[in-house]
Amino acid sequence: MSEAAPECLEGVDTDAVQSALLSWYREDHRSFPWRETTDPYEILVSEVMSQQTQLGRVVEAWDDFLDRWPTTADLAAADRAAVVAFWSDHSLGYNNRAKYLHEAAQQVEDDYNGSFPETPDELSELMGVGPYTANAVASFAFNNGNAVVDTNVKRVLYRAFGCPDDDTAFEQAANELMPEGESRDWNNAIMELGGVACGQTPACDAQSCPWREHCDAYHSGDFTAPDVPEQPDFEGSRRQFRGRIVNTLGEHDELALDTLGPRIRVDYAPDGQYGRDWLRGILTDLADDDLVELDESGPETVVRLRR
């Protein structure tokens, strides 16, 4: 942990945030073969391939590449034209990435006696390996990287904690949040969060986002981000109202149903289209997610935020 938390993380329960994300990731996440290995060469190949290609398409190319050149020694000894041709045949983006990967394999063999460097700084010495890729390989292969900050991570930090759209601020916040000794699972987890739950159009509830109770955007309903300049559409704007409910209840100990309604929707009418039945439906979902509780013991339904 840094000596002083970034301003956007002030007041954040870091332990709760860390525990929630790691538990969510470890319970269930997308399965990719490079997540099942700690071989730095295999991970480097996946990182380089993923830079311009959807992950679903990378799987086949990754398998084929490693079948053909299973080690850095095999790749280093290969004809560069064959490596570039493979890249083109599999539509993996700029061919210079194939050239750099080939040269990096030669560096590992010639400069490191076939053993991969392990730290982000050393990995950055390999051809074509920038800070992001170096951190990723150090994290996923050796569990000793810094926080990885890609577009998905920036979007998550901006929405969840209001971190400013500034690379230094994102890096500081990402490193402050990452638990010591957990770079492998943490970096996978926060990128997974941005990939499946907090995409450009978020799926907070559908993906059971573990940061809903901590998230500024979920509370406010404003899901803009650096790469999402306009508010995305939501199904019936339901998520926006969920956020408003949680935010409003956070300011009050409890509210009766008909007191809460007008606070989250100006056209709330108890017996209207957007009335008690509509509000109760959203509250039932929130209760199922253990975010609120409904007290129906008295003449009026009372709603409380679950603590």
Q: Model confidence over 131-156: pLDDT tens digits? A: 999 999 999 999 999 999 999 999 99
Mean pLDDT of the chain: 90
- Percent pLDDT > 90 in the chain is 66
- Residues 49-97 have pLDDT tens digits of 998 788 888 999 999 999 999 999 999 999 999 999 999 999 888 889 9
Contacts with 262 (C-beta within 8 Å, 6 or more apart), sequence order: 268
Mean pLDDT of 163-192: 95
47 is catalytic: yes
- Contact between 160 and 170 under an 8 Å Cβ cutoff? The reply is no
How many C-beta atoms surround the C-beta of residue 261 within 10 A?
22
In which band, very low, low, confident or very high, does the pLDDT at 105 lie, cut at 50, 70 and 90? Answer: very high
Which residue out of 3, 10, 42, 47 is catalytically annotated? 47
Task: State phi, psi for 256 to the nearest 5 degrees.
Answer: -70, 155
Hey, is 91 helix, strand or coil? coil
In this predicted structure, the answer to whether residue 285 has a pLDDT above a threshold of 50 is: yes
- Residues 219-265 have pLDDT tens digits of 777 889 999 888 776 544 566 788 778 888 888 878 999 999 988 88
